Structure 1
Amino acid sequence: MQETFTGTTVEEAIQNGLSSLNVSEQQVKIEIEDPGKKGLFGVGRRAAVVSLTIIDPELKRYTPAELKSNAQVSEDEEPVIISEPQSQATVNEAAERNAEESQKPKKDLTASAGQTLQYLLQILKRMNIEATGTVTTKSNEVGINLESADAARIIGKRGHTLNALQTVAQTYIQQSHKGYVTVMIDIENYREKRRETLENLALNMAQKALRSHEPVKFEPMPNYERKIIHQVLVKMKNIETYSEGREPHRYLVIKSK
């Protein structure tokens, strides 16, 4: 889904597009078709032209008309709302129960991974979400792939709920397995879609930093998501990146050199 917008400057064209589609820069890929031209006393003036393409997995299924009318939920679909206090309470309860597991004998990775999956399914059940899942293990890495009719609720806005579940799983498995283990939870290939979104976002924000000559701050995100953005921008010689803040509110900053 791609649409073209114009303005007297590139920034104005971008803002016109974002306003028209009712989206943010984080949700689209921005391509500058024509930087425009100021002209002299109005002579030779040419409008700037940009193309915006929706890259946010949560918005790709909507048409431009639905986005413009702020139709985030179709008529035959009820909105799913997960309040932050509820989600945080669930995570806190899970973290408290992890302490009990620390006294149990250590298990091999496959057994620990399977136990972690069952633990996550119990948490989801308490959230009134039915789900199933499979696990894969490789070296010191564990992959957990979930399946559910309520995938959107498990993912949460920009993956916040999925990331919270992943933090719980990471803590839980460390209590039952010797050595450091990394856990990655996925559902409906969300992680790959999110990677695509972050890679495009990195390029968008890099161009913005170059145009404005001002530092551009990203929203707080997990370390592995910041790493994805850094890997894209490290190839750009005129851009530098660094992180600020403390976990879980640490964020990435990019600026032109």
Structure 2
Amino acid sequence: MAAAVEKTGKTIEEALNSALAELNLTKDRVDYEVMVEPTNGFFGLIGAKLAKVKVTVKKLTPVEVALDFLHKIFSSMKLAVEIQQAAKEEHYIFNLKGNDLGILIGKHGQTLDALQYLTNLAANRDLSEEKIRIIIDVEDYRKRREETLCRLAMRLADKVRRSGEKIVLEPMNRHERKIIHTALQDNNRIMTYSDGEEPYRKVVIAVRNN
């Protein structure tokens, strides 16, 4: 996308709208400078001048880039989504609100993870240092999923303790495996470890060998 364009028109507004159309941006995304004021000239003919403006694209922050990226995706999907932002010490949280947003979650959050990955790529595209981290959630899905996994970990750990046989869970992403490991890390009768290669890496729950 061009960083700046110059356009003319019978009025300043006409010249500005012409530039916005070429840039495919809204007015809030640009700064503009009037280079030539329009004049009607003598009898509206002799000496008449068109308005001329220089329109410059505003530089977005990484967070604004991420929001713009998401809004374009949701627009193409014809989804009405409200993005609630929260800034933490080491990352930003975007919690998506709206109706029928299950399509953005996918099986076990796989679509959500992919959306989060692409959003972080977009936000950090022009950054060489101090990259930002964005966590995307949908209607607090990640919190509910974490609670579900913690309950699952406790239930399976008790089963392993009673039976003495290890249990291998279904493949999970790194974040979800960490939830299982953390939930059981203080259980002195149970051990957990990950086995296999991505994307099929699994958590194994077994009796601790003392």
Which TM-score band (shorter chain)?
A: 0.5 to 0.7
Report the counterpart of residue 229 of structure 1 in structure 2: 180
* Aligned-CA RMSD value: 2.1
TM-score by structure 1 length? 0.52
Give me the whole-angstrom Cα distance separating, in 2, the residues matched to 1:183 and 1:246.
Answer: 26
1:161 partnered with 2:99 = no
1:244 touches 1:252 (CA, 8 Å); kept in 2? yes
Give me the whole-angstrom Cα distance separating, in 1, the residues matched to 2:174 and 2:140.
Answer: 19
2:65 touches 2:122 (CA, 8 Å); kept in 1? no
Query: Which residue, 171, 193, 197 being the options, matches 1:242?
Result: 193
Q: Which runs of 5+ in 2 are unaligned?
A: 1-58
Identity over the aligned pairs, expressed in percent?
36
Give me the whole-angstrom Cα distance separating, in 2, the residues matched to 1:238 and 1:252.
Answer: 17
Number of equivalent positions: 149
Change in CA separation of 1:200 and 1:155 when aligned onto 2, cut-off 3 Å:
same
Write the mapping of 1:27-38 to structure 2, written as runs, cut at 5 A. none
Write the mapping of 1:182-201 to structure 2, written as runs, cut at 5 A. 182-201=133-152
Change in CA separation of 1:184 and 1:212 when aligned onto 2, cut-off 3 Å:
same
Give me the whole-angstrom Cα distance separating, in 2, the residues matched to 1:234 and 1:153.
Answer: 34
Shift, 1:196, TM fit = 0.9
Query: Which residue, 175, 187, 208 being the options, matches 2:159?
Result: 208
**Any idea what SS the aligned residue of 2:99 has?**
coil
Give me the whole-angstrom Cα distance separating, in 2, the residues matched to 1:172 and 1:209.
Answer: 43
In terms of Rg, which structure is larger?
Answer: 2
Q: Which amino acid aligns with 1:127?
A: M
Change in CA separation of 1:213 and 1:124 when aligned onto 2, cut-off 3 Å:
farther
Structure with the bigger RCO (C-alpha within 8 Å, sep 6+) is 1
Give me the whole-angstrom Cα distance separating, in 2, the residues matched to 1:193 and 1:123.
Answer: 25
Write out per-residue CA displacement over residues 210-243 of structure 1, whole angstroms, 9 at most, x where no aligned residue.
2332221122222222111111101110111111
Q: Which amino acid aligns with 2:200?
A: H
Shift, 1:118, TM fit = 2.0
Give me the whole-angstrom Cα distance separating, in 2, the residues matched to 1:129 and 1:221.
Answer: 28
Write out per-residue CA displacement over residues 127-173 of structure 1, whole angstroms, 9 at most, x where no aligned residue.
34332313333343121111221222222232222122112122222
Q: Which amino acid aligns with 1:241?
A: T
Q: Which runs of 5+ in 1 are unaligned?
A: 1-106
Report the counterpart of residue 141 of structure 1 in structure 2: 91
Give me the whole-angstrom Cα distance separating, in 2, the residues matched to 1:149 and 1:250.
Answer: 33
Query: Which residue, 185, 206, 210 being the options, matches 1:255?
Result: 206
1:243 touches 1:250 (CA, 8 Å); kept in 2? yes
